[in-house]
Structures are given as structure tokens and as C-alpha cells.
Chain A
Amino acid sequence: MTPPAAPKYLDAGEGALVVEFGREVDPAVNARVMALDAALAAEAPAGLVELVPTYRSLMVHYDPLVLPRAALIARIARLMDGLRAATKPRARWVLPVCYDGDCGEDVAAIAEWAKLTPEQVIALHSGAIYRVYMYGFAPGWCYLGGLPKELGISRRAAPRPPIPPNTIIIAGGLSLVATNSMPTGWWLIGRTAERMMRLDRDPAFLAEPGDELRFARVDRATFDRLDARAAAGVTVSYREPAS
């Protein structure tokens, strides 16, 4: 196997450096982003402000008056040398998900597009293991890689009205756990009883970028019971060893 190419270093102003490993969504590219994110966080130089991992690049916010650009790049290059292609995920979170009725409002439409039955769509989605690629769009909106390719439906032609909180949506080969109610161009496949973001919990965000996630199917009655418990502040997901 040929060693992966060196990343590109791009400036986003004088206080942010984009370390770009690729321009496409690709598990191997994201694995390198996560590995550098973890390595830099473990050995944060003075002047490092924030790390923002995304699908394909790591944005390093830094104070150039404390940490000169050249020193930052030298540090990253040194870390890259010792970096394994992929770091083991820190944890795997198992989220209870209801796919029935209005929770999985678009399961039938997805099944029709995929030429599968609704039960097959649910089995595929709840049988896969996902990785948190990044957060974005709004606080706690968690973008996941690992959607089975049979479910690679494109976005809707036009956005639909706001989705209920904690909805799981898919489009363009990705799955996403949404936290709050927003309009979306994605398809609604299920709803989790867990809260990805809860400000009164420590940590406020359930999963770190790089963590694994999977969905455990529950029926509507179980969902309603767990959702009520989650609303009262109880954590209703659980953690299992990552692969």
C-alpha cells in the first residue's frame, strides 16, 4: 500500500489553518482527519485555540502571535510522521431509534427509491455501524459516515418544513442525527429518544467526532417511554466497545 499523500495546508485568515487530506467524502480521508485531531489535542502547543474536524480536513484555529504558522505546520508534519492511518474510535454509542409511523415518515419513499421493502430499509439502517464524521449546521447536528450504499438517495428536490427534534435523516450517502427542529432537504428515516446535546449534562454532547454510533430499533411504545425519560434528564443510550 502506498503511503497517503501529505496534506495540503491552506490559510483561512491568519488565525486558522486548514489541513486538507482530500476533497471528497471518504472514510480513509476522514480517518486521517480524526487521527491528526486526536494527536494535536493530546499534545496541544501553546497558541492552539480550537480544532474543528470535518469530513475531509481539520481546521486548526490558532493565535499566530503565540504560535507562528511555520511552527504549527512543522508540529503537524512531525505528528503526521508517527500517525497511524486510522485511530481506533474512542467509544461506540447505541441509540434507541423508532422507525415506525411518523418517526420514520420517509421510510416508504426511501424503500420505493431503493427498490426495497420498508423492513429491508430499516434492517439496513439499524444494522450498520456509523462513525461521527463531523458536527455542523446547528449545535449538536451530528454527521455520520457508514450509511449502507443501498440507502444512498439524493436530497429532496425542495426542502420540507421543520423536522421534529432528534430526527435521523439521510441524503447523499450520509446519515445525520439532528437535535432541533429545522427545515431540511434530507429524508426522515427514524427518531431517537436520546438527546445528542443536553446543556445540563456533562459532557453536553454525547459523541465526540471520531466516535462510532449504531441504532437499536425500538417500537413506538418503547420509544415514547424512553423519550419521556430522556426529557426528564436520563441518558437512554448506552456505550459499548468500539470495533
Chain B
Amino acid sequence: MSALRVVAAGPGVAFQDGGRHGWLRFGVTGAGPMDRAAHALANRILGNAPGAAAIEVSLGGVELEAQGVVTLAVAGGDFAVTRDGRALPAQCIVTLAHGQRLRIRPGASGAWCYVALAGEFLLTPVLGSLSAHTRSHLGPPALAAGQEIAVTAYDLGADDSRLDVDAPADAAIRVLMGPQDDYFSPEQIALFQDSEWRVGGRSDRMAYTLEGPLLVPAHGFNIVSDGVAEGAIQVPGEGKPIVLMADRQPTGGYPKIANVIAADLGRLAQKRPGESVRFRAVTHDEAVAARRDAAARAAASLTLTPLLKTHFSSEELLGVNLVGGVVAGED
């Protein structure tokens, strides 16, 4: 049996699969990846199901050592990725020989990246999911130095390759107003839509705080608790809006001025504390169209480019696949 040994892990590096679904009505947070598209991409590079468990890497970074031969894919923000000290692309598929180390540190941009495995992490699901929800201690605990993660590793025979992805658009984050936008005056709505906001330093998987002008609801800060969807922009008592992310509570008692549309939530998640963000209101139809576009992008075929090596053995020269690697989209 193979394993991944955790050499070092920053805070908040933990397993996420597609999320813990079906339990919101019992107060159980869905969790799941902060950037769903990147998580699905890391899995897709390897031919895994989009909701397969992967390691979500925070700005704290991680270093993993292979016990046995292990093939991994990395996708997400523009992190600095190395194998035994040699740089790798931020979006790639790599095979680690026994004892080789994959190190991931914050790079040029982005706040989250994902390490998927060709094979299976040997972990026990909780309420049907391998997603970690740290606050309620559900799912596998966060990665810690010294831990050995047992895996079943598959040999895909894949070349080490990079995946070229478009840089994320720097456009405004699209929102659908409501469900409690009627708690705010037209002036307060305009202030929300026209201001430049900054992601606050206390942001985490539960919520991204927004720094900017104070928003004051016209009808008070307290509502009788109701459901909270992922991406809800809630305005608590002090008037500083927060965006509720993957680890949100399923219900809440503050007015929600707007909701980030699903297609843009991952892009917001990838912003680091201090980065600026603007919001743009769209209609329900536009939000659904954006979701349809995102689904089409996630199903488009991937083009992997084998990495150039500086040293070749004669066996490698004889066995090299000169055709390159076009991986078909999912059937």
C-alpha cells in the first residue's frame, strides 16, 4: 500500500470532496471546496469523478512525500509548486517516485489550490462525505505534519504535464439581489453596488469579510432565522457585510442583501485578504446562463502539454510519446 506523508501543513489544509449533502435541515454544514471548479478540474485531469476527495491547500501551504509511486494533479490558484525543489506549473499532473516531495506554497495569486490523487484516499466518510468541517469536527481532521495518509495509488502511465488555463477574469463578482434587499434603502443598495470592497483579514472558509462603507439596514439587523445559501452576503449588526462561504451555517438571523452567483463564487474565494472586489447585480436569467456557461467550460476537453525534461535516460527517449497528451472530455 502507498501513502502520502505530510511533511508540513499550514493551517486549514484539509480534505474536501463535493460536500456533505442532504443534512442542511439538521444544521449540518455542507462544506466542500472553496473553489468548486478548480477542485473538479484537479480531479478531471486524472479522470476522477468531479466530487472525489482532494486535498484543499490554503495559503498556509503543504509539503507531501510519496511512500511508493503516486500520481497527483494540482489545480487552483497560481501557487508555487515544486517537486524536490524543482519548479512545476501551478496546474499540472505529476508522478512522485518513492521519497519525492511535492511542496506547495502561495504563489503569484490565488488563495486555494487542490491536490487530487490518481487512486483513492483510504478515509472513512462521515454522513456520506469526506469533506472536513473543522468547526463541527465532522470529516477527516485537517492535515498535520507527521501524518501518513494511506492511499491506493493507480498507475495512469501519464506523462508529467502542465495544463494551460485562462487567467481568471478580473471582472466584478456578479450577484443576485435578495432575499432581504428590501431591508435596505435604495441609497444603501447603491452604496453596496457602487463601492470598491476589500477582502478582510479575518476571512476563512466560513466567511469572507468585506471592508468598505458601513451598510445600515432600514428595518434593523435582526430577522427571524431563515435559510442561508452558499455565497449569501449577510449584513450583521456592525454594518460590515460578510460573504458566507463553503463552511457557512445552514441558517442565520441577519438580513442578506444579495447572493453571489454560483459561477463567480470560486473567483471570489480565490481573492486574498486585502484584494479588492466589486459587485455587479444580474438577473436570475443571467445567473442561470452564467452557471450554464461554467458547466460547459467544466465539460470541455482538457489539453495537457508534457513537461520538458532536462535529463533523459535512453529508456525515456525510446518510450517517449511524441503525440502529446490530449485528454478527451468526460463521456
**Which A residues form the contact surface with B (CB < 8 A)?**
10-16, 18, 20, 23-25, 49-59, 61, 64-65, 68-69, 134-143, 180, 197, 199, 204-205, 209
Complex formed: what's the CA distance from A57 to B291 in Å?
Answer: 26
Complex partner residue of B229 from A59, A139, A197, A209, CB under 8 angstroms: A59
B78 to chain A, nearest CB (A): 27
Asked if residues B127 and A199 are in contact (CB atoms below 8 Å), the reply is yes
Tell me the bound Cα distance from A165 to B74 in angstroms: 40
B292 (CB) vs chain A CBs: closest residue: A65
Known: A14-B288, A69-B284. 18 other contacts (CB 8 A): A10-B178, A14-B261, A14-B287, A15-B262, A15-B291, A23-B223, A52-B24, A52-B25, A52-B227, A54-B226, A55-B224, A134-B225, A135-B25, A135-B26, A135-B250, A135-B251, A139-B27, A139-B138
Which residues of chain A are near B288, meaning CB under 8 Å? Answer: 14, 64-65, 68-69
Is B231's CB under 8 angstroms from A13's CB? yes
Q: How far is the CA of A138 from the CA of B250 in the complex (A)?
A: 9
How far apart sit A25 and B28, CA to CA, in the bound complex (Å)? 22
Question: Which among A11, A18, A140 is the interface contact of B27 at CB below 8 angstroms?
Answer: A140
Q: Is B313 part of the binding interface, using a Cβ–Cβ cutoff of 8 Å?
A: no
The A/B interface has a contact count, at CB < 8 Å, of 133
Known: A49-B21, A139-B136. A16 touches B26 (CB 8 A): no
For residue A174, give the distance in angstroms from its CB to the closest CB of chain B.
10
Q: Which residue of A lies closest to B180 (CB)?
A: A10
Are B226 and A59 in touch, CB under 8 angstroms? Answer: yes
Q: Cβ of A138: which chain B residues have Cβ within 8 Å of it?
A: 27, 135-136, 249
Contacting A at CB under 8 A, from B239-292, are 249-252, 256, 259-262, 284, 287-288, 291-292
Asked if residues B225 and A18 are in contact (CB atoms below 8 Å), the reply is: no
Residues of chain A within 8 A of B178, CB atoms compared: 10-12
CB distance from B225 to the nearest CB of A (A): 6
Shortest CB distance A179–B (Å): 8
By beta carbon, the residue of chain A nearest B262 is A15
B129 to chain A, nearest CB (A): 12
For B226, list chain A residues within 8 Å (CB): 18, 20, 54-57, 59
Convert B25-60 into 0s and 1s, putting 1 for each residue whose CB lies closer than 8 angstroms to a CB of A.
Answer: 111110000000000000000000000000000000
- For residue A114, give the distance in angstroms from its CB to the closest CB of chain B: 23
In the bound complex, how far is the Cα of B180 from the Cα of A212, in angstroms?
Answer: 30
Are A11 and B227 within 8 A (Cβ)? no
User: Quick one: which of B156-214 are within 8 Å of A by CB?
Assistant: 176, 178-180
B327: Cβ under 8 A from any A Cβ: no
- A54 and B179 CA atoms in complex are apart in Å by 15
A15 touches B28 (CB 8 A): no
Interface assignment of B235: CB less than 8 Å from any CB of chain A: no
- Residues of chain B within 8 A (CB-CB) of A142 are 27
